[in-house]
Chains A and B, each alone.
Chain A
Amino acid sequence: MRLGVLLVTCIPLLTPMSGCLTETIDDNAIGVESDDKVLTIVTYDIYGLTSERISEFTNQTGIAVEMIKLGDAGAVLNHLLQTKDAPQADLALGLDNTYLQQAIDRMVLQEHGANVSNIMDSAWAPYNGSMAVPFDQGSICLNYDETSINASQGRDVPTSLWDLTSDAWKGKVAIPSPVTSSPGRAFMIATTDYFANDDDQNTDWSDWWSAMQDNDVIITSGWTEAYETHYTGGYGVWNDDHVGDANFVVSYCHSPGVEAYWGDNYTISTSLTLDRASFHQVEYATIVNGTKNAEYANLFIEYLLSEEVNLDMPIENSMYSVLRDSELPEDNGYRYHSDLASLNAQVTPKQIADNMDSWLAAWEAALA
């Protein structure tokens, strides 16, 4: 009798697992119409690519899409390197200009053949070759909580990164680690250029990081932890895991605009736009070297760069579109609260690839 009860209870629980037990990898793809035409995309969580968007692509082209999802841009590069001898994907989405050159140097990418003439010049600025197509962009910089500024208590808006090493901001700055986070890596790169071009010839960028370490800088493993858990000026204050011990955080210069858009035109966050203390990040669609489905990948790149998809990047993916003449939406103060970087750090992908290992080692040494 008991066994009967168990079976009756288990059968409804177990019957719906139609999915994985009978499927081959191709059947897992989103879009069911096609038999052989399958495009495999490796990407981090790009939120603009909803299942509806992908279904639209399948309906338009007859090509089904399978997603291999990873944590961030660094994880995408790791995957490409790990599977270099037997690539699992046809298209990689999300490598940015801090990782791109390494991918090119290690020959995990091949030239694309997509027709993409509608991309604005600034998106081609970091890299304008044929191995990668920009699909979104933004500038990474420090954001701060406007309510934390109090001149009478010595907490003025910083005019130099050195100001953040003062007692007034002790333990009040959260930065994702460049070892484990793409925005963290981009900000570290910006600091190399910022301090190479400041007036002080006696100190360099690693001295600033050492001083920040002495000033109890909060280093986190990723952007989410820095922004949500520690930052007092963002949406994280409504989250259960919020700690709220940092008034400054590394994010995007337009993050205050995103805050306002989702917060009914309300935000207390703004950006610190110091010359060369920001980094222009461009994210790329790249074709995996050795793929037999380059044609499908090119079609997907064109779809990604179509107006219907790319103009939605600010809402769906919280990033700027790369299309010519595109603007951030004005709804709920999105554009009004989005700050523009005054002058981004001038570091090329080649310089980044050549120096990244030594920069990371120097960064670790500065904080150790």
Chain B
Amino acid sequence: MACSLGGCTGLKRRSENIEVAIPFLIFSALVIIPLLLALDRLIYVSGKMPWQVFSSLDEHYLSQGAIGFTFTQALLSTVLTLIIGIPIAWQLGRYNWPKIRLIRALLTLPFVTPAIVAAMGFMAILGSDGLDIRGDKSTYLVSLLFAHAWFNIALVIRFVDPVISNIDPSMEEQLRLLPAGNSLQGRIRWFWFPLMYPSVLCAAVLTFVFSFTSFAMVRWMIPRNATLETVMADVGGAAGIVDYQIFSNELVLASSTIQFIVLIVALWLLSVLQAKRNQTIAEVSESYSRKRSRIGWMILTPALVFCLSPLLAVVRASLRIAERGPVSSHRWTLDGWKSAIGGDYAYISILDALQNSLGYALLTLVIALPLGWSLSSGIHMLEKRNSYWAKPLDVLTMLPLAISGIMLGLGILLGIIRISTVFFTFWWMPAVPHIMIATPFVVRLLLPAMRRQDPLLIENAQMLAMNRWQILTQIRIPLLRGPLIVAGIIAIAMSMGEFGASWILVRTGAWDTLPVLVDQMMSRPGFDPLVKPAAMAAASLLMITTLILFLLAERFRPDGDGGMF
């Protein structure tokens, strides 16, 4: 033996520590450094510290009321999402449904739908060629809440459905025999509530975060109310320039600091709740046969209509053109698609933009998947050791998930200005926020799967003198093939749909991605009646591509998957 047992263990531990440290250093460099540089730049240019600028939000007209409105709409969106999502999750988890994989995929599809497509879809439903209720201002907030609920019910389903579906029905039957469980109220209080609340709250926290940082929906659906996110988008372009529009720096600094505090608190809560949730899932880790529901279709049918309507509305709008004149009307046409494919209203055609989007998505996949794997392995290793580092690092990997796209984009933009503007010329630069956004999804999908893996398999492989590479390629990767494929496809889908950061960051027209192109076309003066159908055609192409990817991912999702996405 070349070393004593203790010495070898020490060496092994050290090599493991390095193995954990490297991906976290890379990840931190990607996520933390741009944000710190941006913060440094904003403080330098504004001459104020973050806590000195909060009042500026209420002093400036364009940001007045932004704090209150951001919190209010996020809170109300969360409540509405739970009201709509819990009955759906209950039906999916508790009862047997034909084609349940497809139903689940369709109901969770909105979450991976690019927000800008969703916003276009809702506008098409509410607009003059739909319900025609945009003239009524009282519908704005409600519309936004429903749009946020539409986007986030997937979270409720993904968190709550696995808990319900894996419950042994005999547990509830046994409870009915006890005094505490002979009433519905008692069963809710002593059985269902303790079992479900961590999952429901996990979904609620994330819904709050996503509504808090929502950009495309607010930008298009609420004409007169600012959120912290839209304030940053409005004035962020002028931030970071010495002696120029100093108030822009103050507003961005104040908005991003508030966002950051809220997000850190939310992530910590999520981490605590997830630990509780994992305990409850562990208690009920098997699948049981379920009954058929007779009335459940009354919930699932409207739910499916709700989830699919905005998407179908986008396709419909791409085929409709307004006939202008004293009597307005719409007619069916393919001209919008022809213009979009011909690139009539942008520097590049939608096919070129799709090509760019797919290119950046592949780059994202190539980096985010191995990085996410390494981060998950590291956290899992630390968890097995009961290391106190496990939880903070787990939270760290979720950070980009919670940081808004605009904040990420501004972070990178100001970071670039701080280091060297030559970075603007690198074609791969727009992929950086995509990688930052996709990596947490990879971790959230792989980490629960790693936790579920039987450790004996690895131990047996070590006993058989397999080296680490053999264990990785012959045991771990084949066993995690399903989650890996799902994570890869979701990473591609997230990259495809990323809008906020790209909106801030993409500089060269030839690099435009599909979401950026959709926004450009929608923002263009629409004197020419073909502009809007062409924009909707671009949105449809983006949506259809994402839909194909997502449905593909669902085929590989393991049964009873307790992962977040």
Q: Which residues of A contact B (CB under 8 A)?
A: 2-3, 5-6, 9, 13-14, 16-21, 23-25, 28-30, 45, 47, 50-51, 66-71, 74-75, 78-79, 81-83, 85-86, 88, 106, 177, 179-180, 218-225, 227-230, 235-245, 258-259, 261-264, 266, 318, 363-364, 367-368
Contact = CB atoms under 8 A, between A and B. Distances in A.
Contacts of B238: 74, 78
B101 to A, nearest CB: 13
B526 A67 contact: no
Given A69-B347, A235-B529, A264-B325, A19 B356 contact: yes
Contacts, number: 214
A66 B127 CA distance: 37
Contacts of A219: 61-62
B223 A225 contact: yes
A244 B556 contact: no
Given A30-B347, A74-B238, A229-B223, A25 B425 contact: yes
B441 interface: no
Interface string B338-367: 000001110110011011101111110000
Contacts of A18: 355, 359
A82 B41 CA distance: 12
B271 interface: no
B124 interface: yes
B554 to A, nearest CB: 12
B509 A67 contact: yes
Interface residues of B, number: 82
Contact of A221 (B234, B244, B548): B234
Contacts of A367: 61
Contacts of B59: 364, 368
A239 B128 contact: yes
Contacts of B361: 14
Interface stretch (B130-138, B188-196, B261-269, B443-451): B130-138
B351 to A, nearest CB: 8
Contacts of B345: 47
Contact of A51 (B244, B343, B529): B343
B388 interface: no
B324 A263 contact: yes
B16 to A, nearest CB: 30
Contacts of A86: 420-422
B99 interface: no
A68 B123 contact: no
Nearest to A241: B123
Interface stretch (B29-37, B400-408, B517-525): B517-525
B481 interface: yes
A154 to B, nearest CB: 22
A236 B511 CA distance: 30
The 10 A-B pairs with the shortest beta carbon distances in the complex, nearest first, are A240-B127, A17-B359, A238-B322, A28-B510, A67-B509, A240-B123, A20-B359, A86-B421, A17-B358, A262-B527
A235 B525 CA distance: 9
B326 A266 contact: yes
B319 to A, nearest CB: 14
Contacts of B485: 2-3, 6
Interface string B489-521: 100000000000000000111111000000010
10 contacts: A2-B555, A20-B355, A20-B428, A180-B62, A221-B62, A240-B134, A241-B134, A245-B135, A318-B525, A368-B59
A88 B358 contact: no
B240 interface: yes
Nearest to B125: A240
A255 to B, nearest CB: 9
B520 A45 contact: yes
Contacts of A227: 525
Given A25-B425, A241-B220, A228 B526 contact: yes
B360 A20 contact: yes
A235 B526 contact: yes
Contacts of A3: 481, 485
B525 A224 contact: yes
Contact of B126 (A85, A240, A266, A363): A240
